[in-house]
Structure 1
Amino acid sequence: MNIKKSLALAFSAYGCFLFGQEKIIDTVYIFDSQMNKVKRFHQVNTISPEDLKKNSTNLSELLRFQSPVYIKENGRGAVSSPSFRGTTAQQTAFVWNGININSNFLGQGDINNISLQGYDQIDVKAGGGSVIYGSGAIGGSIHLNNTLDYHKGFHASLFSEAASYSTFNNFVRLSFSNDRLSVKVSGNHSQSENDYEVKESQNYINRNGQYNNSSFNLATAYKISSRHQLSWISEFFNGDQHYPVFFESSTRTKYETQNVRSLISWDWNRPELTNSLKAAYTEENFQYFGNIDQPKSSGGTGKNYIVKNDFNYFITPKWNVNIIGEFQVNKGEGYESGISQVSRNVGSVAGLVRYFASQNLRFEGGIKKDFIEDISSPVLFSFSGKWDAARWYHIGLNVSKNFRFPSFNDLYWQKGGNPDLKPETSHQFELRNEWMIAGIQLSVTPYYMRINDMINWLPGPAGYYEAFNTRNVESYGIESRIEYEKKSGKHLLKSVLGYSYTSSTNLDTGNQMVYVPFHKFFGTVDYQYDLVRLYVQGLYNGLTYTEANAKRSEAIDPYFVLNAGLSGTISRYYTLGIKVNNIFDQVYKTVAYYPLPKRNYSVTLSINF
């Protein structure tokens, strides 16, 4: 029975999506079992592996050009962090196959130390999601997801790129599956001298900007029976990242990191009931070298042991109950940070109830309580509704309370850590509108968010920076997206255009938050004729303040960057491509003092068999 027919029967018999998912899981296994449920109530933008190739340099570039997230990057390939809806990097959750992987120490993810390759899809979800995805999911979440297929036989692929500044990027993937076993193995290596120049910006040279990183991924799943399945996925990442310096005489620094992630899952599936039991281990190791010729000057090791159970049951065809329980042991040990050996236990219980009034109207309500050792955490909630009012108009409502508990650095860094910190909390409201007319899909989402007790590092009375709950932030704006696709014979035209307006105000000063642009446009137009493909990609970023006093003279001016690529497929298996980045040679930056490259080029080869 094919997937479409299975889905049609499921909707007909039960009037809901989750029974259809039980049919799909026989063909495609998704490690993040919650993602398909989330997509029924929230807007999630998915970046496919094919779209990933348009911005294959690093994850920062991908998110900059293909999502509404603002990415601040201290020079290409260096320290990089996201801003969702006017929030900070600590208020963005990075989720690997359903597991939150934000750093124990920083409470955030360093984007350029997260591998870009090796995922089957990258999902970008704006808005709070702490009920399902935990601490940090305040402004939004970025999901790095893997899937496994059955009945596909043997497949292999290679992607290789050579680009300006002695940049090389190689990715290989092998997979095999039959009716009971599925295995996928992949590896990636990227390196660059990264020695670009921007003379118009005070004769900037990206000295000491080189980087290299490697990753290895292994995933497998085995059907014990028609109802039971065991699966395992692991990822290993090693990175060496040098930090740019302004002068030849400056002391050169670098940062090294080694990350391990491993997840085992037992899934039990019946038409009215599913249960997914997961055990995971994640580890982060990092070393900072204040002088690259000397031993490390600081560093740390963080380890997380995680057990998570996701139980989903249909009481009746219209009523669904979902209970998620999780327990973690977080451990950390710092070097030259004052953090000796620290450990904390973190548990949570979440309950969600979904009501499917009809195929066109559905609701979801959730509540969650976290139990964090030595920290008092709030009760969280979420409510979502989706109404397909007409074939051409859908409307969705989301209200939620979300939070972030303090990181190990916030609590224990010496000097300055504060063990009395409270969690940050936020309340959020959004109203999503979607129109589908003549092949055009348009979504417009106004939102409002209030964040209380934001953790801020400020000069203290003792003369050094300390962590305090001092800041309250109010953020509101609009996110919009328009998509169009038209196929005629051998011609295919696709376009995705996005615009976001963000007002994010520090209520203590009345000023716009730093590194939060008021306006951002992004978009891609693809044209394909037979085996030849052309795409054009653009990004406009509005005025962006870099100082808390909103000083115009120190702000980043608006800029527009345009990229273009051309590729052709030969003999079905080989695809050659060329790309020009920053066609108009724009001088631009996302962080003060660190411009990004002007016009540059890349050549790619893809082999699939």
Structure 2
Amino acid sequence: MHLRYFLANLLVVVTIHSFTGQNTSGNEDIWLNEVTVRSQRLEEFAIGAMVEKTDTTLALMLANGSLSDLLSLGSNLQVKTYGPGGLSTFSLRGGGNAHTAVMWNGINIQSPMNSGVNLSAMPALFFKDVKIQHGGAGTLYGSGAMSGVVHLNGENLFLRPNQLSAAVGYGSFFTPSANIALKNGNERKAFAFAAFAKKSDNDFEFINTARMDRAVQRQQNAGYSQAGILTDAHIRTSDNTMLTAALWLQHFDKEIQTQMFKTRPDTAVQIDNTLMGAVNFKWFGNGKQLNIKQGIIVNEVDYTDYIIPTNSGNNQSLSLVSEVESRININRHIWSVGLNYTREQGKSDGYRTTESRDRLALFSFLHLKSRDNKLTTVLSVRDEMTNGELHPMVFALGSDYKLYAPLTLKGNISKNYRIPTFNDLNWAESSYARGNPNLKAESGWSGDLGVAIDKNYAHTAVSVSATAFITHVENWIVWLQGSDNVWMPTNKKTGMSRGIEFRMQNSHKSGSNLFGLNLSYNYIHSRLRTDDIYDGSQMTYIPRHSTNAMFSWNLHNITTAFTLNAAGERYYDATNKLEPYITGDLMTAYKVPLSASTLTVTFRIANIWNTTYQTTAWYAMPNRHYEAGLRYNIKI
């Protein structure tokens, strides 16, 4: 019965391509001379959701840094780092790392083995457009998008000037870096290339709070080196077709930082090698669009423990993504239907056999707009099958209502799901961990209600948003340590997260001075309901209160920014917690205009107050440290 039901839905997809559209919607981007079509699912169908974009000033200051640096200082994400340069994960709205999807060129790059994405391994330079979509988005992006989505995109190459950029940087703890970027093209085709390299001894001093005497020690076995290449091409194959292709290669070599309570240094190392590719073809005309997408993600993680060789292991994963989506414009409305097929494989020394699965999903979105353009509503549904087993259908309903000129009401409710990872299901039993083949898929719903105000005055622009949210998850999968000290994933009965998000952006121009203020605050009450000691506990590593702020000042060719990052206490198990912390960074950039080029000098003082803190238990973070950079841009 389930199979017949799914095939009936598949027939709808085939049939829908024969429908004839009418007038072009005002929401659809079109060719404007050399401007390319921008057919982003985020802009058209994430209605009712809060979407934040990282600040361009902060991105300039952190051009030699990682995506972890950018998101921890400039977004509502809760970033958890295993020491500088170490594994960096994140959470949103009280969910776990696996509950926030990460999309690159429309492809989910989360590992099928552990749902992980290491933000520290990703250079901020590679992403010209980073957006965070808050709330459940399972209908738009499938399994795992229960708390939100991080979108990593490049710029529209046809809108970028042709130029060559080269930069070098140097920071504390012997941390040199270098990168180069090139963009060249015309109105028919454009090409971009970027490459980077960075290394660090990472031997910073820290106060060891695990010792009774709080001795000052120097960090050992924490160095890293990384390098990567990103290429991007946009080709206008005809007046109504577009082909884009991107290839991303990355290498990350990291010593596993010694935890504070250990009496002798660790000697473990981990090497990550990643290849990702994406090809997108877009056709549009007569009120219709067709998008065809192909993606590949290959990842290898080689972990070596020289003290306990049996802990060493090699992990390899492969994801192949194929998607076709059609869109039909009917007056002011848009109807979209698509089919996604994903093939996933995982091979590990921790598995008994090579694991694989086939995922097939059917989805549809309906974008409706009122005649007066005040009300916009999107209804979306998705049905997915994994290895022949049909998951329950999920849905979402979101609306934006422009109450009057500066004020918009926003609301969204959705049903979402997350299937277990290969590690969750198949990890072979050892002395420290084992998988659980009896795990159930997580399921639940989320809802949010918010208000947004956008107002422009003569010399001031103000944007304010406030959102109340709630997320309910059944069969929440959590890795916990049992009475035998072995870690194992378990379906906890219920996970509930609710809270408030506040965000303000303000810019003011006074003469030659431009002032900016960005402020965000999160209140998150996240609880597990279960039958063990974790019952009623705040979710691990989720602070109830957290704040980010940035004040910037620009005068002529000088830009200065001060950022503040604060988090309340966070439990790292059922009874123990990390202390609250507040850190501040001071950054400045000076542009030297030349005849046909620009030279930019940047300088950053990180953790200016010498705060002693941890984002992950027993992994030290450095006190005050410095970073300088030099960038040269020339138009070609």
Give the aligned partner of residue 432 of structure 1: 450
Answering whether residue 373 of structure 2 is matched by residue 348 of structure 1, we say: no
Residue identity matched to 2:27 = L
Give the deviation of 1:450 after TM superposition: 0.4
What are the residue-to-residue correspondences of 1:104-115 with 2, within 5 Å? 104-115=112-123
Unaligned stretches of 5+ in structure 1?
1-12
Residue identity matched to 1:566 = T
Q: Deviations over 1:72-95 (max 9, x none)?
A: 111111122112111111111111
Answering whether residue 569 of structure 2 is matched by residue 546 of structure 1, we say: no
State the distance in 2 between where 1:463 and 1:143 align.
37
Give the deviation of 1:16 after TM superposition: 4.9
Give the deviation of 1:47 after TM superposition: 1.9
From the superposition, tell whether residues 375 and 160 of structure 1 become closer, same or farther in structure 2 (CA, over 3 Å).
farther
Answering whether residue 452 of structure 2 is matched by residue 443 of structure 1, we say: no
From the superposition, tell whether residues 275 and 48 of structure 1 become closer, same or farther in structure 2 (CA, over 3 Å).
farther
Compute the TM-score of the two structures, normalised by the length of structure 2.
Answer: 0.88
From the superposition, tell whether residues 444 and 80 of structure 1 become closer, same or farther in structure 2 (CA, over 3 Å).
same
State the distance in 2 between where 1:274 and 1:53 align.
35
Q: Secondary structure at the match of 2:68?
A: helix
Answering whether residue 590 of structure 2 is matched by residue 568 of structure 1, we say: yes
Give the deviation of 1:472 after TM superposition: 1.3
Structure with the bigger RCO (C-alpha within 8 Å, sep 6+) is 2
Give the aligned partner of residue 128 of structure 2: 120
From the superposition, tell whether residues 35 and 26 of structure 1 become closer, same or farther in structure 2 (CA, over 3 Å).
farther
Which of 185, 193, 211 pairs up with 2:193?
Answer: 185
Unaligned stretches of 5+ in structure 2?
1-21
Residue identity matched to 1:593 = W
Answering whether residue 499 of structure 2 is matched by residue 477 of structure 1, we say: yes
Answering whether residue 54 of structure 2 is matched by residue 47 of structure 1, we say: yes
From the superposition, tell whether residues 556 and 460 of structure 1 become closer, same or farther in structure 2 (CA, over 3 Å).
closer
Residue identity matched to 1:600 = H
State the distance in 2 between where 1:193 and 1:25 align.
50
From the superposition, tell whether residues 457 and 200 of structure 1 become closer, same or farther in structure 2 (CA, over 3 Å).
closer
Give the aligned partner of residue 403 of structure 1: 417
Answering whether residue 397 of structure 2 is matched by residue 383 of structure 1, we say: yes
Give the deviation of 1:418 after TM superposition: 2.7
Give the aligned partner of residue 342 of structure 2: 328
Compute the TM-score of the two structures, normalised by the length of structure 1.
Answer: 0.92
Answering whether residue 451 of structure 2 is matched by residue 423 of structure 1, we say: no
Percent identity of the aligned residues?
Answer: 20
Give the deviation of 1:46 after TM superposition: 1.5
Answering whether residue 140 of structure 2 is matched by residue 132 of structure 1, we say: yes
Give the aligned partner of residue 503 of structure 1: 525
Give the deviation of 1:50 after TM superposition: 4.4
Q: Secondary structure at the match of 1:22?
A: coil
What are the residue-to-residue correspondences of 1:159-558 with 2, within 5 Å? 159-199=167-207, 201=209, 202=214, 203-245=216-258, 246=260, 249-270=264-285, 272-291=287-306, 297-314=312-329, 316-335=330-349, 337-357=350-370, 358-373=372-387, 375-415=389-429, 416-437=434-455, 438=457, 439-458=461-480, 464-508=486-530, 509-548=535-574, 551=575, 554-558=576-580
State the distance in 2 between where 1:293 and 1:169 align.
33
State the distance in 2 between where 1:35 and 1:172 align.
30
Contact 2:54 2:71 survives alignment (8 Å): no
From the superposition, tell whether residues 430 and 14 of structure 1 become closer, same or farther in structure 2 (CA, over 3 Å).
farther
State the distance in 1 between where 2:581 and 2:33 align.
45
Which of 52, 60, 75 pairs up with 2:83?
Answer: 75
Answering whether residue 615 of structure 2 is matched by residue 590 of structure 1, we say: yes
Q: Secondary structure at the match of 1:224?
A: strand
Q: Deviations over 1:238-297 (max 9, x none)?
A: 100111124573341011111111111111022511111011111111111112897992
State the distance in 1 between where 2:311 and 2:599 align.
44
Aligned residue pair count: 589
Give the deviation of 1:215 after TM superposition: 1.0
Residue identity matched to 2:628 = V
What are the residue-to-residue correspondences of 1:79-90 with 2, within 5 Å? 79-90=87-98
Q: Secondary structure at the match of 1:85?
A: coil
Give the deviation of 1:493 after TM superposition: 1.2
From the superposition, tell whether residues 465 and 566 of structure 1 become closer, same or farther in structure 2 (CA, over 3 Å).
closer
Q: Deviations over 1:514-571 (max 9, x none)?
A: 10001111011111011111111111111211212xx3xx322221111111221112
Q: Deviations over 1:444-496 (max 9, x none)?
A: 00001101111133567998444332241111000010111122342211111
Give the deviation of 1:53 after TM superposition: 3.4
Give the aligned partner of residue 152 of structure 2: 144
Give the deviation of 1:205 after TM superposition: 3.0
Give the aligned partner of residue 43 of structure 2: 36
State the distance in 1 between where 2:567 and 2:342 align.
39
State the distance in 1 between where 2:564 and 2:326 align.
43
Residue identity matched to 1:507 = R
Residue identity matched to 2:206 = V
Contact 1:124 1:141 survives alignment (8 Å): yes
State the distance in 1 between where 2:58 and 2:286 align.
34
From the superposition, tell whether residues 451 and 152 of structure 1 become closer, same or farther in structure 2 (CA, over 3 Å).
closer
State the distance in 1 between where 2:275 and 2:85 align.
21
Q: Secondary structure at the match of 1:359?
A: coil
State the distance in 2 between where 1:459 and 1:543 align.
22
State the distance in 1 between where 2:485 and 2:624 align.
45
Contact 2:24 2:287 survives alignment (8 Å): no
Give the aligned partner of residue 7 of structure 1: none
Contact 2:207 2:612 survives alignment (8 Å): no
State the distance in 2 between where 1:50 and 1:463 align.
47
Give the aligned partner of residue 4 of structure 1: none
Contact 1:15 1:356 survives alignment (8 Å): no
State the distance in 2 between where 1:564 and 1:428 align.
37
State the distance in 2 between where 1:599 and 1:524 align.
18
Contact 1:189 1:214 survives alignment (8 Å): yes
State the distance in 1 between where 2:251 and 2:359 align.
28
State the distance in 2 between where 1:17 and 1:209 align.
53
Residue identity matched to 2:357 = R
Contact 2:479 2:487 survives alignment (8 Å): yes
Give the aligned partner of residue 19 of structure 2: none
From the superposition, tell whether residues 248 and 421 of structure 1 become closer, same or farther in structure 2 (CA, over 3 Å).
closer
From the superposition, tell whether residues 67 and 373 of structure 1 become closer, same or farther in structure 2 (CA, over 3 Å).
same
Q: Secondary structure at the match of 1:108?
A: coil
Contact 2:228 2:250 survives alignment (8 Å): yes
Give the deviation of 1:350 after TM superposition: 0.5
Contact 2:440 2:475 survives alignment (8 Å): yes
